[in-house]
């Protein structure tokens, strides 16, 4: 059997023909009424369907700054395995979903344009793209099913489908609708979705309906026999239920792109340009009916387009050329940036649009861990081939980006870097959850200013290709790219801002220095046996001190006083002052005693402060024997080289370095010690 045949058979075995038949179902109006009776959710409005789609993926609640927050799993992009996942914007997304919920319940927001507003690169387009993708996928499921209207043609298998994918229930005359609703809703509980028949037929369907009534001498029951209903699958590519409108040059664009235009070829066939059969209902508002329309950079629209937008939002109607007002059912989402929005506020002629928009701020991310996720999605050691990304490379770039977006804290004792750490969940002495909440409330433009993630992504890309000789890229390569690009940055126009951003790069470099010094310290002090011996020695002395006993010297066999010098050399590493040493030592002994009562053995790793103190003490004891500073010279003896290789292997094993980046970090830290900068960071 040929390979081609094998491939075809393999695909054939995985086909789901039953699913295909469900998605392409065509039936009668009577069958559709049975479907509605069984599952009234098929008649939902566009807002109801979009809201239900988001909720269907699940909701998580958590607490932040003593406030309950909601996270909608849909925005993790489960549809595309995280490709368009949005990180760190739970507040903005909650505002958006709340607006959709209000619109779904008919509280008024369904008559507004949802305007996503924020700086460039803040995920506005990504959010709109997610909603469109989600609706497409949801319409393929049984839970998200919806249906469209069509008409049988006499003695022909052809079906004339509604060009606007009309809700089939719209063929029910107004005087019967209330009675039909009662019949379809009979026996349902209050929390079930009720069937509501709202809206009119589109001009094409209205024309066919009128012709059918004439044909059957007004007998509606005969007209209904010619009605066909099909399952509707929303698709942006096929222009079914999903529309996108983007402003272009005003000479090359007119309002018919929104509401459709006359088909001049068919005028000769049908005799009039006001015959709906001679009209293309293919404007973005037409094709987006039953789904969603996205307006890209909506405030760049010409005033002529805004008239259509205002009517579509407020009245849920559009005015195609030569036809009466036509009902639409669709979610209208636009997005814009800060300069365009300021122009809207200052333009008195745009007052009507301001009154019909619900502004939802979409700021930049201001939490470091979420900013890191944005970049790690594309720049990690699995997706980047041929280059190793050294630890903290993405983290330092993200740290700088977030720092540019934060406002200087009003508290003089708090630095911008400390504010970043507080936002990121780190606890600092003297700062409570309430303080962090106050910091956020005091800021007026935080997240609406600063560097875009796109700029950082561009510089990460540059760093990956700018050093062909290197096997890995490190934070300094990226930070240098970020700095050199500032003078050409189109959105950083004044020198004061540029200098501020450069100063923040200095803050990040200093923080990186502290981080890698700490990592090298831990790698040097990662000798488990040596740590256990040091811990045992410390605990023996603390026990003797607290119980006023003596310690047996293992070498001489003599009993001696507790070694105060040893105990203080450990405790000083975690800033235990002399007047607090007794409390700390009793705390340790009480901790060990409590474990013993529970039948557990003390392990220094379970006490974070003591573990850190022991590591720093061991580092201090070993750094001279390793002679780290000899790395900056050309002469390293075999014994020292062996010890350095052990440290390097620990950096690779425990911290994610490769051989090149581990060597670079050791050389960098060695140069710090060679300069005499031996200050330890607690």
Q: Summarize pLDDT for 482-526 with one digit per residue, the tens.
A: 999 998 887 787 889 999 999 999 999 999 998 998 888 888 777
Arithmetic mean of pLDDT, 372-397: 91
Instruction: Say whether both 486 and 567 belong to one domain.
Output: no
Point out which residues pair with 152 in neighbouring strands. Answer: 159
Arithmetic mean of pLDDT, 212-216: 95
For residue 453, the enclosing domain spans 368-496
> 17 lies in a domain?
no
Instruction: Say whether both 492 and 557 belong to one domain.
Output: no
Domain boundary among 496, 512, 547: 496
Instruction: Say whether both 483 and 599 belong to one domain.
Output: no
pLDDT score at 681: 42
Q: What Rg value do the Cα atoms of the chain yield, rounded? A: 34
The residue that leads in pLDDT, 15 or 357, is 357
For residue 636, name the pLDDT band (cuts at 50, 70, 90): low
Instruction: Say whether both 462 and 576 belong to one domain.
Output: no
> 433 lies in a domain?
yes
Cβ-Cβ contacts under 8 Å for 504 (sequence gap 6 or more): 400, 403, 404, 416
Instruction: Say whether both 482 and 554 belong to one domain.
Output: no
Arithmetic mean of pLDDT, 331-355: 81
Instruction: Say whether both 380 and 444 belong to one domain.
Output: yes
Instruction: Say whether both 485 and 533 belong to one domain.
Output: no
> 362 lies in a domain?
no
Span of 73-77, 145-149, 180-184, 572-576 with lowest mean pLDDT? 572-576
pLDDT score at 629: 54
For residue 675, name the pLDDT band (cuts at 50, 70, 90): low
pLDDT tops 60 at residue 682: no
Arithmetic mean of pLDDT, 322-347: 87
pLDDT score at 60: 93
**How many distinct structural domains can be found in the chain?**
2
> 348 lies in a domain?
no
Domain boundary among 602, 619, 636: 619
pTM, two decimal places: 0.84
pLDDT tens digits, 569-596: 888 888 888 888 888 888 888 888 888 8
- Pairing between strand 357-361 and 113-117? parallel
Instruction: Say whether both 441 and 547 belong to one domain.
Output: no
Domain boundary among 619, 637, 664: 619
> 187 lies in a domain?
no
Span of 344-353, 375-384, 629-638 with lowest mean pLDDT? 629-638
Using a pLDDT cut of 70, give the percent of the chain over it: 95
For residue 107, name the pLDDT band (cuts at 50, 70, 90): very high
Instruction: Say whether both 373 and 413 belong to one domain.
Output: yes
Report residue 74 as tokens.
């849909």
Instruction: Say whether both 445 and 554 belong to one domain.
Output: no
pLDDT score at 221: 95
Instruction: Say whether both 529 and 491 belong to one domain.
Output: no
> 389 lies in a domain?
yes
pLDDT score at 677: 45
pLDDT tops 60 at residue 365: yes
CA–CA separation, 566 vs 568, rounded Å?
6
> 320 lies in a domain?
no
In our burial notation (b when 16+ CB lie closer than 10 A, e otherwise), range 272-281 reads eeebbebbeb
Show the CA angle centred on residue 441, arms to residues 437 and 447, nearest 5°.
105
Taken as a whole, the chain contains a residue count of 682
Using a pLDDT cut of 90, give the percent of the chain over it: 49
CA–CA separation, 669 vs 662, rounded Å?
11
Span of 44-53, 528-537, 666-675 with lowest mean pLDDT? 666-675
| Residue 272 DSSP symbol | -
Point out which residues pair with 551 in neighbouring strands. Answer: 560
Mean pLDDT of the chain: 88
Instruction: Say whether both 551 and 485 belong to one domain.
Output: no
> 393 lies in a domain?
yes
For residue 429, name the pLDDT band (cuts at 50, 70, 90): confident
Arithmetic mean of pLDDT, 616-629: 68
Asked whether the CA dihedral 269, 274, 277, 281 is positive or negative, the reply is positive
């Amino acid at each position: 059997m040929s390979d081609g045949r094998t491939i075809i058979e393999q695909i054939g075995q995985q086909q789901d023909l039953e699913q295909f038949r469900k998605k392409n179902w065509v039936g009668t109006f009577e069958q559709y009424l049975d479907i509605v009776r069984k599952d009234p959710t098929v008649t939902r409005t566009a807002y109801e369907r979009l809201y239900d789609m988001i909720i269907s993926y699940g909701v998580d609640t958590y607490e932040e700054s003593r406030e309950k927050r909601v996270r909608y799993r849909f925005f993790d992009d489960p549809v595309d395995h995280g490709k368009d996942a949005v990180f760190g914007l739970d507040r903005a997304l909650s505002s958006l979903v709340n607006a959709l919920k209000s619109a779904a319940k008919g509280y008024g927001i369904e008559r507004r344009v949802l305007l996503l507003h924020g700086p460039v690169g803040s995920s506005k387009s990504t959010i709109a793209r997610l909603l469109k993708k989600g609706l497409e996928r949801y319409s393929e499921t049984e839970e998200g099913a919806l249906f469209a209207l069509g008409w049988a043609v006499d003695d022909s298998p052809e079906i004339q489908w509604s060009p606007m994918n009309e809700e089939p229930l719209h063929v029910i005359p107004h005087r019967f609708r209330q009675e039909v609703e009662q019949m379809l809703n009979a026996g349902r509980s209050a929390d079930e979705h009720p069937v509501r028949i709202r809206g009119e037929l589109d001009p094409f369907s209205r024309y066919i309906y009128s012709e059918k009534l004439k044909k059957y001498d007004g007998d509606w029951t005969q007209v209904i026999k010619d009605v066909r209903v099909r399952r509707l699958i929303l698709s942006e590519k096929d222009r079914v239920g999903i529309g996108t409108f983007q402003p272009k040059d005003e000479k090359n664009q007119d309002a018919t792109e929104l509401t459709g235009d006359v088909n001049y070829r068919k005028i000769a066939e049908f005799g009039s340009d006001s015959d709906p059969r001679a009209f293309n209902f293919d404007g973005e508002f037409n094709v987006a009916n039953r789904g969603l329309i996205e307006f890209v950079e909506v405030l760049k629209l010409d005033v002529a387009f805004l008239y259509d937008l205002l009517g579509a939002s407020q009245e849920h109607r559009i005015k195609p050329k030569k036809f009466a007002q036509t009902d639409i059912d669709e979610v209208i989402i636009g997005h814009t940036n800060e300069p365009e929005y300021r122009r809207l506020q200052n333009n008195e002629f745009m007052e009507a649009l301001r009154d019909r928009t619900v502004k939802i701020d979409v700021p930049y991310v201001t939490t470091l861990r979420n900013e890191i996720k944005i970049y790690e999605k594309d720049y990690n050691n699995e997706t980047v081939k041929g280059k190793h990304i050294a630890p903290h490379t993405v983290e330092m770039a993200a740290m700088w980006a977030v720092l540019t977006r934060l406002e200087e804290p009003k508290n003089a004792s708090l630095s911008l870097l400390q504010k970043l750490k507080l936002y990121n969940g780190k606890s600092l002495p003297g700062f409570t959850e309430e303080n962090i909440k106050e910091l956020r409330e005091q800021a007026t433009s935080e997240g609406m200013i600063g560097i875009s993630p796109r700029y950082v992504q561009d510089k990460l890309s540059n760093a990956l290709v700018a050093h062909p000789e290197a096997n890995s890229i490190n934070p300094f390569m990226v930070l240098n790219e970020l700095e050199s690009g500032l003078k050409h940055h189109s959105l950083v126009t004044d020198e004061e801002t540029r200098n501020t951003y450069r100063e923040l790069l200095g803050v990040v470099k200093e923080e990186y220095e502290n981080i890698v010094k700490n990592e090298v310290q831990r790698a040097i002090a990662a000798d488990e046996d040596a740590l256990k011996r040091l811990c045992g020695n410390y605990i023996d002395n603390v026990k003797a001190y607290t119980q006023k006993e003596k310690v047996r010297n293992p070498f001489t066999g003599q009993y001696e006083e507790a070694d105060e010098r040893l105990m203080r050399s450990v405790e000083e590493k975690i800033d235990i002052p002399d007047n607090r040493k007794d409390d700390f030592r009793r705390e340790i002994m009480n901790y060990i005693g409590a474990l013993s009562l529970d039948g557990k053995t003390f392990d220094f790793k379970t006490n974070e402060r003591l573990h850190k103190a022991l590591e720093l003490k061991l580092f201090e004891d070993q750094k001279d024997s390793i002679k780290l500073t000899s790395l900056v010279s050309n002469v390293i003896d075999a014994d020292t080289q062996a010890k350095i290789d052990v440290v390097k292997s620990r950096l690779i094993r425990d911290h994610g370095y490769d051989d090149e980046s581990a060597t670079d970090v050791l050389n960098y830290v060695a140069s710090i010690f060679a300069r005499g900068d031996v200050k330890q960071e607690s």
